[in-house]
Amino acid sequence: MLEQLGQDPNVAVYCTSALHHPQSTGSRHFIVIDALSIGTSNVLGVGKSCLLLQFTDKRFQPVHDLTIGVEFGARMITIDGKQIKLQIWDTAGQESFRSITRSYYRGAAGALLVYDITRRDTFNHLTTWLEDARQHSNSNMVIMLIGNKSDLEARREVKKEEGEAFAREHGLIFMETSAKTAANVEEAFINTAKEIYQKIQDGVFDINNEANGIKIGPQHSPANQNMPSGGGGGNQGGNCC
Amino acid sequence: MFSKQRTWLSGALWKPKNPHSLEHLKYLHNLLCKNQQVTEQNRSLLVETLRSISEILIWGDQNDSSVFDFFLEKNMLSFFLRYLQQRCGRYICVQLLQTLNILFENIRNETSLYYLLSNNHVNSIIVHKFDFSDEEVMAYYISFLKTLSLKLNKHTIHFFYNEHTNDFALYTEAIKFFNHSEAMVRIAVRTITLNVFRVDDKAMLRYIRDRTAAPYFSNLVWFIGNHILDLDLCVRHDMDHRSRDRLSDLVAEHLDHLHYLNDILCIGLDTLNLVLIHHLLNNLFIPLYVYSLTKRKKFDDPQDDRKHVSSVVSLFLLSQVFLIMHHRQLTQQLAEVIFHGDIFLTQTEGMQNSPKAGIREFRAPAESLEKTLENNRPKKRHIQTAPPSVGQEDGAVGETEEGSSTFYLTREEHTDTVSSPSTEGALSPISEVCSADTELSSPTQNSTDEEKLIGLSHRMAIPSGMPDHPLPFTLENRPYLETIFNALECMENDYSALFALCLLYAIGHNEGISQTLLDGVMMPTERSKSKDNYNILLVERLIRIIEQACQSGSKVRLATLEVSIKLLKQLVVREHRSYLQDRHLACIENARECSTQRLRNFYKSEEIFLDMFEDEYREMKNRPLNVEYLMQDASILLPPTGTPLTGIDFNKRLPCGEVERTRKAIRVFFSVRELSLCLMNETEAQLPLTKEDNCIKVNDVLDLNNSDLIACTVLMRESRRQERRFLVIDPMQLILVEPDSKRLGWGVVRFVGFLQDVEVSGDKDDSRLLHVVVHKPSSSIHSRSHPILSARFIFDDHIRCMAAKQRLLKGRQRARLQKMQAIERLLDIPPAPDGTRSRSIPIPGRSHPVRPTSSSSSTTSSPVSTQSQGRGSRRISAEQKRHLQAKAAQRSKSRQVMGPSMGTGLRSGVSPARDGVEMGEEATSAMAVQSLNQNISSNNSSGSERMSGSSRSSGRLVSAGSRGNQGDEARLEIPLEDLSTSSKQHRSLSFERARLARLAREAGVRTNHGHHQAVHHTLMMRSHSLSPHRSRQETSSLMSRKDPRRQSAPQTLATSFKAPSILQTILSQSGSDRRPQITCSGSSSDDSPDSGRARSWSGGAPKTLLPASAPSLSLMDSIGHSRRSISAAMLLPPERTTVVRRCEEEEEEETSRSTTLEVGSGDQGKSTDSALSSDETGPSSSDITPSSETSLSDLALGSEIRPSASTRDRSTSSQLTQLAQLVQEHYAYSCY
């Protein structure tokens, strides 16, 4: 996955978000949300696993000569003062098994549908992905459309307007991000979580029904809360300060 | 935090500036060396170190290979393992797992990967006992395994699977979590197993099959089964739809399982599949699903405490199984049990002690998977034989220890019992084959399976579907199939019927089930070459459902109707050709008439009706029912409800309120109409109401010379764009054009919208301004919100503005009116004669009211003419097969017969052509009257007011009879069709009468055609297609006369033909034995129910064709307009003729073409003169005289006689002309 030659990482973002990250506040119970990242698979990647790593573990700084991604990541975030643990599962590599795709869609409350703005084919595939997602998933599933690699403006093949139009047409949230510069990565995931949280508040998602990809998380001891690596990877990101 | 660590460290070690470098890795290695023990203090440091290592390694993999060399050289993975073994808690574990995840996921250099895997550290990490109660550890752990499984291939597999120690930690550790409480974990486990199975490594696969397959699959099956029990519980206790969410989760979960199992089967590992299929069938599908079918039926034993689900649930689950799984061996065996019953069960019931009795049972595995795997875990190689073989699966494991051959033997033994114990002998060769071939290549398996089946069917005397010796189909000894068939009866509701339909549909669509097996129960599918042998019992039940759906207050939901239609098509339609017997076709036609009738009751000339009508059509076309999706919906598992508050889709529940009832009536109408057209191989000509092809589209260039153009400025509401356009109003569309720069007076279309969707309003401040909104023809009812145009039109002055407004309003009105009229034509609603409605006035550009009315009426209401067409083709084909040799000779003979008769037809057609058209009509109507007259003459008490009624009823009688007749014919010629005992009685009653009537009709065609040659009409389409069949029918009747059994029928006719009241004779002959009151009754009110009953072959609820106003009115109308209708009919699409011709054989082409004309004109006359069912009376019954003579004389005397016959025809008909006029007057009176 040879990715773009981007600018230097924008580390400021992490500092602020690290400050925002609550260590342990309020009620111990938190909501666990399972979400998926979908899009053309990793081999000619659209960078979704990099996005995922970007979001879940801030200690990995985007560097121009390094491309790292993960297939699973979890992170604590706070929305309206409520602790929410966002677990994101990458669906890459499992497309050949219908049962797996099906199950994944059904078990998730949200999905990040990622395409690469420098490759039109990944954008053209969106319809298929979306159809798949809509068919198998719970109708309430929140889908965020992400145009990744926004730092490669020069090689852009898909206009931002096109992405916006597609999202509007299909009722998705839209954002352009860059795993390289970390632009909008935080926002993309948090907005998705917000939307899901809103649906929980509205009673659209039943928090007691785990099949939707939402559940009440177990109580964590404060000691553990202080040193999660993956789950609270954000609080390790303060090394830039 | 890190910065603090750095300061703390800075004194001790030199830290390189560049985090991505070999130096940094060396530095980190040093750190690890110094901190080999995890403590409170160094924990954070270690975590960060581990994380950095993964980062550097990936960087190295991508940029600098020396980094990796160093890592391997220092064996840094062993540090990882050591940390794990210190049980240092979650913190380190999670970091380690993440690091490993990142390593294995991002490394692209294959050598690096091999090095990483080479020293077995990874396997040690896999078997490490993490704290799996911590969900985060669990998630990272299973993701790690999944990442590894994605790296599996022929080469890497050896790092995970150790052939010598028979150790495969990655797989065995993963499957332990197959029933983990977290869905995501379960999914990951399934992914891992699939990824493992996909690797083509024989030794590994053998290991999996021998050691793990049986325990894993038996546990999996038990897990699935328990889900099913939960599901059943949920259905039983939730009549109020309260826990729909939970139910839908359970259903989805079941689907997930089925898809997973199917994915395994699809990988195509035959040996593994055998084990899986064995467990699935014997421990789940058969004992839990199939056995439950007959629960609460007579087979139910109260003492039987075996676990089961309700039969509705089992129907639902089985349909899912057949919809998803297509594996040959699995579905074949399962279908076999369903079709033929499980002899094993019935025989061994009561002998619970017998060793085999326990084989098919849904029960818990002897021990948990984890335990089995622990026991299996090879410390030494021979320990595994130790586990006592409790139950079958463990037995299998034990036996396969030495070599795989014994395993197959045990398997085959099971198959044996699966099929039938009596077939043991037949199966022995297979076992040999199997045991000889250890790898059990699939071709061998296939062939043996086939053998087995054939052997089976012979032994069990099950109809093997060989077309030559079909055995009667009964439901005896088929308890499961019987349940399914019984479920099709919608007594109170269609709750279980829907599932039974879906199940049968799924079985028919399942590629895994051999056609031989399906032929055994006479279920033809797409794969069958011919569909002559369909299961009458089943088809009749389907027709019942369709009929029920067409009745008011029906409990049949739309989905049920649509699936029955699908299933019916699957059974009888092949490549646009219908094999449906005529009596069945007649029922469908009847249902279609009912649905039309019912929709007529809902018809309102309100705007909303049109919108609904078009919306429903769009909905039906855009979202056709998909059975697989339908069966994914848990909401249908609960008893049908009527309230939309449940959120259940409209087609999956009963209608609620008047609007929904109207919608349903519309949908039923569309569906049944479509079915009927399909069965008759006709294309839809009247729907949709808007033909896209005829519409003007954007960017078209139009010649607008001499058109009315109004210039205006269009101001878009949203974009605020302002454009100068010319407004053109077409009959259907609103068009905005821009002048074409190239041609003067031409314009380029910039916008089009349907006038019917236009909303116009003036502006109170500006008299030159109009607000125009064009709504989108919505694809669903809920999305009407987005208009395709919302703008202000600014005109030059207020006069132009007013003109535009008026035209838009009028145009909208007219466009809608036109469509309403199209609907009326579809529904045979006559334009009101009193002129109260504006639509009774003919509108320019609109085709004449009569034309469509008559044409559609002949489709909807004259089953006689249409069905004979369908039947002609069908029967002939059967005949041709049967008399392949004899055919040629007979055909030539029949051609002789045909030729002259045609000649006369033509000649007689020309000579009275003085006033061809007029004459034609009158003659036909005269014939209509003849029978009527006779009927009435026999019943002197009937007054003239009743005439129309009685004529109609007698027409019905004849048509009903003729339908029965076809059944009879079919029985005589194709004995296999007479397999359903239930309908036998009904049919035999109507046979004789029907046969006569059919001959009568044939003859009627003959007589008529002579006179109406000049008449050309839309109906031609139908009659065209009729003709070839007709002519062949004669061939067949010739042939059939050779059959001594059939001699009687023509003879009867021959004697009766000269009698003046032939209809009377026929009716009394045929009808007296059963329903004499029909024959003599002349009153329409008495007759209609009777005739209705006569029509419905099954003797079920009488079909009310009641609201008689429509027929009589349309009849009236058609008399008035008949001439115009004729002229309007010239717009006949010519391609119809070619369609027809395709069915003909070349040798007969000439003949049939000329008949085409004749018959066409005959029918034409019929339908112009009387629009509805009453018209059959005329041609079909009254013409018996000449025609039977013709055909008889063909037989007895040869062709010389024919001219005289036709002379007679002519004179008769001219006499009848006057009678016809008389009757028309009566009709007219009775109408007003």
Residue A112's CATH number = 3.40.50.300
d(CA A155, CA A159): 11
d(CA A69, CA B371): 36
- pTM, to two decimals: 0.65
Domain count, chain A: 1
- Nearest chain A Cα distance for residue B370, angstroms: 23
Provide, as residue numbers in chain B, all residues whose Cβ is less than 8 Å from the Cβ of A72.
101, 139-140, 143
Could you give the C-alpha distances from B747 to B149, B692, B699, B726, B1046, in angstroms and in order?
A: 65, 21, 9, 9, 71
B386-399 pLDDT, tens digit per residue, is: 333 333 433 333 33
A153-193 pLDDT, tens digit per residue, is: 898 999 999 999 999 888 899 999 988 888 888 899 999 99
* Interface with chain A: mutation pick from B130, B143, B244, highest number of A CBs within 10 Å: B143
Is A123 part of any domain? yes
- Nearest chain A Cα distance for residue B152, angstroms: 12
pLDDT higher for B307 or A235? Answer: B307
For A142, the domain range is: 29-216
pLDDT computed for residue B134 by the predictor? 84
B795-819 pLDDT, tens digit per residue, is: 888 888 888 888 888 888 888 888 8
Q: Do A229 and B47 touch (CB under 8 A)?
A: yes
Is A122 part of any domain? yes
Nearest to A99 among B59, B102, B260 (CB): B260
3-state SS, B479-507, equals HHHHHHHHHCCCCCCCHHHHHHHHHHHHH
Total residues belonging to chain B: 1232
Residues 6+ apart with CB under 8 A from B317: B228, B254, B289, B309
Asked whether the predicted pLDDT for residue A118 surpasses 60, the reply is: yes
Provide, as residue numbers in chain A, all residues whose Cβ is less than 8 Å from the Cβ of B62.
65-67
Is A117 part of any domain? yes
Residue in B closest to A52 by C-alpha: B102
Residues 6+ apart with CB under 8 A from B1044: none
Nearest to A238 among B1, B54, B143 (CB): B1
d(CA B373, CA B367): 10
pLDDT computed for residue B829 by the predictor? 79
Burial class (CB in 10 A: 0-12, 13-18, 19+), B750: middle
pLDDT computed for residue B50 by the predictor? 85
Nearest to B187 among A57, A69, A103 (CB): A103
Q: Do A211 and B194 touch (CB under 8 A)?
A: no
What number of C-beta contacts closer than 8 Å exist between A and B?
A: 140
Nearest to B2 among A135, A217, A239 (CB): A239
The answer to whether the CB of B437 falls within 8 A of the CB of B447 is no
Complex ipTM more than 0.85, yes or no: no
Q: Do B94 and A231 touch (CB under 8 A)?
A: yes
Q: Do B3 and A238 touch (CB under 8 A)?
A: yes
Helices and strands (H and E) in chain A: how many: 8, 7
* SS3 state at A229: coil
For residue A128, the tally of other CB atoms under 10 A from its CB is 10
Q: Do A106 and B194 touch (CB under 8 A)?
A: no
Q: Do B91 and A87 touch (CB under 8 A)?
A: no
Residue in A closest to B188 by C-alpha: A100
Provide, as residue numbers in chain B, all residues whose Cβ is less than 8 Å from the Cβ of A59.
48, 51
- Nearest chain B Cα distance for residue A123, angstroms: 24
Nearest to B187 among A100, A228, A236 (CB): A100
Query: Which parts of chain B sit beneath pLDDT 70?
Result: 1-17, 239-240, 295-305, 342-359, 376-472, 605, 778-785, 831-1232
Nearest to A230 among B136, B252, B263 (CB): B136
Two tokens, residue B1007 = 């007589």
Is A231 part of any domain? no
Burial class (CB in 10 A: 0-12, 13-18, 19+), A25: exposed
Provide the sign of the torsion angle of the four alpha carbons B1152, B1157, B1162, B1166, taken in this order: positive
Q: Do B101 and A71 touch (CB under 8 A)?
A: yes
The answer to whether the CB of B571 falls within 8 A of the CB of B524 is yes
Q: Do B91 and A224 touch (CB under 8 A)?
A: yes
Q: What is the DSSP letter of A221?
A: P
pLDDT computed for residue B318 by the predictor? 92
Domains and CATH numbers, chain B: 13-199 (1.25.10.10), 692-826 (2.30.29.30)
Residue in A closest to B249 by C-alpha: A211
The answer to whether the CB of B392 falls within 8 A of the CB of B360 is no
Using the Cβ of A3 and the Cβ atoms of chain B, whether some distance falls under 8 Å is answered with no
pLDDT computed for residue B351 by the predictor? 41
Nearest to B183 among A70, A99, A210 (CB): A210
pLDDT computed for residue B1224 by the predictor? 62
Q: Do B94 and A60 touch (CB under 8 A)?
A: no
Residues 6+ apart with CB under 8 A from B472: B979, B981
